[in-house]
Amino acid sequence: MEIVVINDNATFNGGSSNVALQSAIALAERGLPVTLFSAVGPVAPELQNVAHLNVVCTHQREIADDPNRFRAFIQGVWNGPAAMTLAKLLATKDPTRTIVHAHVWMRALSPAVLAIALDRGFRVTLTAHDFFAVCPSGGFFVHDRKQICQRRPLSASCLVCNCDRRAYTHKLWRFARTALQNGWFKVTSRIHHYIGVSQFSIDIIKPYLPSGIPVTIVRNPVNCSDAGPAPVGKNHPFLFVGRFSPEKGADVFAAAASRTNVPAIFVGAGELASTLRQRCLHGSFPGWLPQRETTGALRQARALVFPSLWLETLGLSAIEAMANGVPVIVSDGCAASAFVKNEVSGLHFQSGSVESLVKQIRRLSDRTFAEYLGRNAYDEYWKDPWTLESHTNELLSVYEQILRLAAVENG
């Protein structure tokens, strides 16, 4: 078996890219020939000099960062240089024993790389870290209204809805790109196997996928060691970790923290930074922190607040909090609410409601209750931890299933 991992970035830059790169390294360490195919460098040091791992990077910009907007427009629809480079790479591979695994492709690589692999007869699996396989905006979210979108992707009502965070013209471009991806190139209907990161996300995307395509949930790896439950009863700050953008709900937490006057720490950065500082005058804003320091802040918190407004497919910071025995106050409209059991390992609140969040923050002023939730969260996580080893085992099971089915179909 050989694996070609497709991901926009060759750098560990959070979230889905971290999962893609970690899995590429782990698969190579199992002795399997792995190629990471990416567009945006630099290539992370961790990817260099790894036995059985080859990295191919076209060294292009993310389309959002390219000052030449016409070039970005074209690249986002069909990245010709990346398509040609991938075609040359795949010409050296055997389609009967090579899996092409796509993670993130919309920021730089474009749908072209998926179409090229499929056209050449390779078995392609796709991890739905987001909803770009079917939704033009990737999130089923109307940004100016801060509402979940209930429209059918690529329908007439989808076309006329100005859901993009920037401008309607950008929405029209995204609509056209997705229409080409799933209409002209028929990418979505030709994927051989979908991988979901949570049942929550699969339930959302599956109605828009062709029936009969296998879908498997593979848990993302969580980079945590067992340090025992954090002393949450002695801790006071409430913590937010993530982008300071409207859909992440950081402003909801800022308003609630201001109302309750609890110590509040905002780890991250983004467009709402100045708004958050004004809304929560006593808040602490250290910016993005290295993983070790983020874990340290987490273990010094009374609770993690996960106030996402949109259909977050997982929420790794919530899982990391559980691994450290820290209660999570989570919005009831995202996938993390399925892992954080209300009143057991954390608390749920009504998505977008400052009042509801204020109520739950005040409940954790009870030190004994906070310790009870934290200990339950810790026990729940460590009875079946989300390790890189288990993630890799689950991936290999999917790959073997794909190749077995291919062998049957080919006689």
pLDDT digits (tens, 9 = 90+) for 325-357: 999 999 998 999 999 999 999 999 999 999 999
Three-state secondary structure along 21-42? HHHHHHHHHCCCCEEEEECECC
Give CA–CA dist 45/50, Å, rounded.
10
Average pLDDT of the segment spanning 137-162: 94
Is the pLDDT at 306 greater than 90? The verdict is yes
Structural domains of the chain, ranges and CATH numbers in brackets: 2-221+387-409 (3.40.50.2000), 232-382 (3.40.50.2000)
Strand 303-306 relative to strand 238-241, pairing: parallel
pLDDT digits (tens, 9 = 90+) for 64-78: 899 999 999 999 999
Supply the pLDDT for residue 25: 97
Is the Cβ–Cβ distance between 213 and 193 less than 8 Å? yes
Is the pLDDT at 108 greater than 90? The verdict is yes
pLDDT digits (tens, 9 = 90+) for 28-66: 999 999 999 999 999 999 999 999 999 999 999 999 899
Average pLDDT of the segment spanning 366-370: 97
Indicate the range of 20-24, 213-217, 243-247 predicted with least confidence: 243-247
Supply the pLDDT for residue 14: 72
- Please tell me what DSSP assigns to residue 342: B
Residue located via tokens 């002695």:
234
Is the pLDDT at 411 greater than 80? The verdict is no
Supply the pLDDT for residue 307: 97
Supply the pLDDT for residue 290: 83
pLDDT digits (tens, 9 = 90+) for 174-183: 999 999 999 9
The pTM for the full model equals: 0.93
Is the pLDDT at 124 greater than 90? The verdict is yes
249 Rama sector, left if φ>0, alpha if ψ -120 to 50, beta otherwise: left
Supply the pLDDT for residue 165: 87
Give CA–CA dist 395/381, Å, rounded.
20
Under the banding of pLDDT at 50, 70 and 90, the label for residue 384 is: very high
pLDDT digits (tens, 9 = 90+) for 89-104: 999 999 999 999 999 9
Is the Cβ–Cβ distance between 333 and 235 less than 8 Å? no
Write out the E strands in 96-209.
98-104, 123-128, 141-142, 147-148, 193-196
pLDDT digits (tens, 9 = 90+) for 191-210: 999 999 999 999 999 999 98
Average pLDDT of the segment spanning 225-243: 96
DSSP for 247-285?
GGTHHHHHHHHHHHT--EEEE---TTHHHHHHH-TT-B-
Tokens of 24: 């590429």
Supply the pLDDT for residue 288: 87
Residues of the chain above pLDDT 70, percent: 100
Chain mean pLDDT for the chain: 95
pLDDT digits (tens, 9 = 90+) for 128-141: 999 999 999 999 99
Average pLDDT of the segment spanning 311-321: 92
